[in-house]
Amino acid sequence: AQKITQTQPGMFVQEKEAVTLDCTYDTSDPSYGLFWYKQPSSGEMIFLIYQGSYDQQNATEGRYSLNFQKARKSANLVISASQLGDSAMYFCAMREGFGYSTLTFGKGTMLLVSP
């Protein structure tokens, strides 16, 4: 079974609108971390946001927020007020346990923001 599932291969959104990118995960470890990375067309991997399994509140970083629903094992990324520069591939990833930095990645969602 896949540990990280991103069911949306591609998403379209208009500029200034909000968009949600879905991510579900599968782990039996009570200690884990969830990450979102952005990959623009230039190819680099840009860290966006992190949510720890024990964090009480949903993580937020500027226009990015993580809708963390632990019981449903989902960690959706919400981008508010989309900008043209948000067009990129987005990856959800999970680290299981601590002191062991390996991330397991989903297959990614391509987001296109139109004017």
Partner 1 sequence: EAQVTQNPRYLITVTGKKLTVTCSQNMNHEYMSWYRQDPGLGLRQIYYSMNVEVTDKGDVPEGYKVSRKEKRNFPLILESPSPNQTSLYFCASSSPGTKEEKLFFGSGTQLSVL
12 binds partner 1 (CB under 8 A): no
Q: Which is nearer to partner 1, 16 or 40 (CB)?
A: 40
Per-residue contact flags (x/-) with partner 1 for residues 72 to 101, judged by CB under 8 A: -------------------x-x-x--xxxx
The Cα 97–Cα 41 span in angstroms is: 32
Per CB under 8 A, contacts with partner 1 among 22-61 are 33, 35, 37, 43-45, 47, 50, 52
Looking at the DSSP assignment, which residues form a beta bridge with residue 74? 24, 69
The Cα 28–Cα 13 span in angstroms is: 34
The Cα 109–Cα 19 span in angstroms is: 12
CA angle, corner 43, sides to 39 and 49, nearest 5?
25
List contacts with partner 1 (CB under 8 A).
4, 33, 35, 37, 43-45, 47, 50, 52, 91, 93, 95, 98-108
